[in-house]
Structure 1
């Protein structure tokens, strides 16, 4: 069984963390958008609307900040994932 390096190169590590952040952004956003539903029912509707708009705007901003970094990392390529399909059945 071939064993990879113990530590990843810095560029590979950053690309993986960017992809992880992009995958978690919708989940994090959903939790933030559902938060008022679990809060007090006697809350002010105007405050709730402002909160929802602010979360929505922050999610858009986060996606806009992640998108260029993700496209740059995809253009550079990941040497570990660009090796092509590997046979998992025969070992």
Structure 2
């Protein structure tokens, strides 16, 4: 019987983390849409809206989305720069 070469059960940590960062970047628009619709859901029927509170919330949500995007972009950029490093070639195997 010929022996089959066994593939590793898990992928390298670096490539796994890169994939999860990319997945997180792809989910940000959906998170943003949810955060922007959320103020419509929290006002009970029959009450008036507090537009000042809603405006503050929307700007805070916008700031959080910008911060998350900057963080993910910086980590992806750093990971891309590490890919050019020959010392990290062992992770690619």
TM-score, with structure 2 as normaliser: 0.71
Structure with bigger gyration radius: 2
Q: CA RMSD in A?
A: 2.4
1:72 to partner: Cα distance: 2.4
User: Which digits, 9 at most, give the CA deviation of each residue in 1:63-91, with x for residues without a partner?
Assistant: 111111112223417x59xxxxxxxxxxx
Alignment equivalent of 1:43, drawn from 37, 49, 58:
49
Question: CA, structure 1 residues 28+3, in 2 after alignment: closer, same or farther (shift >3 Å)?
Answer: farther
Q: Distance in 1 between matches of 2:27 and 2:52?
A: 28
Structure-1-length-normalised TM-score: 0.73
* SS of structure 2 residue aligned to 1:8: coil
Flag structure 1 segments of 5+ consecutive residues without an equivalent: 81-91
How many corresponding residue pairs?
Answer: 79
Aligned-partner SS, 2:49: coil
